[in-house]
Amino acid sequence: MWQAEHVRARLAALYPQCSVEILGMTTRGDQILDRALSKVGGKGLFVKELEVAMAEGRADLAVHSLKDVPMELPEGFELAAVLEREDPRDAFVSNDYASLAALPPGAVVGTSSLRRQALIAARYPHLVIKPLRGNLDTRLGKLDRGDYAAIILAAAGLKRLGLPERIRATLEPEDSLPAAGQGAMAIEIVKGERSDGVDLKALLAPLNHDATARAVTAERKVSKIFGGSCQIPLAAFATVEGTTMRLRAMVATPDGLRSAHGEVAGSWDYPDFLGEQVSILLDSQDAHGILEACRQEAAQADAAASQATGAARDA
């Protein structure tokens, strides 16, 4: 909702003659809070209802956290603008400890991300990592109740909601490489001119931040190549200096024991090419094998959970 209000304010400043209304909606991703996203459908759970509203003409555009947007959009939809990125880093949040390194053996760390889980497990194998779902207030509430010694959140969300003081430490990309699109907002629309002749894409063009759009294009290319979703630990992060883009990427098993890392640099005019190049580097380190191991592990876990549920019903 903060993101929708932000875009409405930006549009009102650009087009004061226009009225912009917000259609508040709850998605399946908001409703299912007792299971990890990787178990219930992944990123698409946060956008489907919004796309239906646009297809039915109830809404003209949807505002998303870009990291929640699937790599392939449904036929007839497109991303019309990517706004300037907020802080893309992960944030360490704790009431009692100053950093991950300060946590004692056995301390419980909460995260909703397999990417974060893999990165933490690789560097701090003595910590216990447990799932954490819910909106920001819910997650902070669980920390404050003592369910976790620390939790890892996106710094962008805390800053946008006026809670930067909850950040005890930010995790630099060298230690916790961000997810593709992390910290960026995107506006999705139905392709083509509307029946009333309004060109929404042209109207939204002033909101597009070129450097951010190019960076996330490279990141999402990596994710697309490897079938990126909430079901696999994958990171991709690009930075732009002048017209040079630096792209780093990583894939790993959730336990952090196997991983592949790559980095490339080149002209920002070819973000897709840079995404392809870093993917080749990852694949030379058996990235597809790592991700296949992730999928097999997830399938085995799902099968075990189904058997347990069946046994409980029989009992």
Structure confidence by residue, pLDDT tens digits, 96-143: 999 999 999 999 999 989 999 999 999 999 999 999 988 899 999 999
Residue 33 has pLDDT above 60, yes or no: no
> pTM score, two decimals?
0.86
Residue 28 has pLDDT above 60, yes or no: no
Q: What is the DSSP string of 119-179?
A: HHHHH-TTSEEEE--S-HHHHHHHHHTTS-SEEEEEHHHHHHTT-GGG-SEEEPTTTSPPP
Q: Of 136, 176, 138, whose CA–CA distance to 158 is shortest?
A: 136
CATH superfamily, domain at 209-306 = Porphobilinogen deaminase, C-terminal domain (3.30.160.40)
CATH superfamily, domain at 1-85+184-208 = Periplasmic binding protein-like II (3.40.190.10)
Average pLDDT of span 33-49: 54
pLDDT of residue 309: 52
CATH architecture of 90-171: 3-Layer(aba) Sandwich (3.40)
pLDDT of residue 118: 93
Least confident residue range of 167-171, 238-242, 303-307 = 303-307
Average pLDDT of span 234-252: 96
Residue 25 has pLDDT above 90, yes or no: no
- The letter for the amino acid at 126 is H
pLDDT of residue 297: 72
The CATH 3.40.190.10 domain(s) of the chain lie at: 1-85+184-208, 90-171
Q: Catalytic residue at 68?
A: yes
End-to-end CA gap in the chain:
44
Q: Of 137, 304, 312, 283, whose CA–CA distance to 222 is shortest?
A: 283
Average pLDDT of span 8-36: 77
Q: What is the distance between the alpha carbons of residues 41 and 103, in angstroms, rounded to a whole number?
A: 32
| Residue among 30, 60, 68, 302 flagged as catalytic | 68
Per the DSSP assignment, residues forming a β-bridge with 252 are: 259
Percent of the chain with pLDDT over 90: 72
Higher pLDDT, 44 or 247: 247
The CATH 3.30.160.40 domain(s) of the chain lie at: 209-306
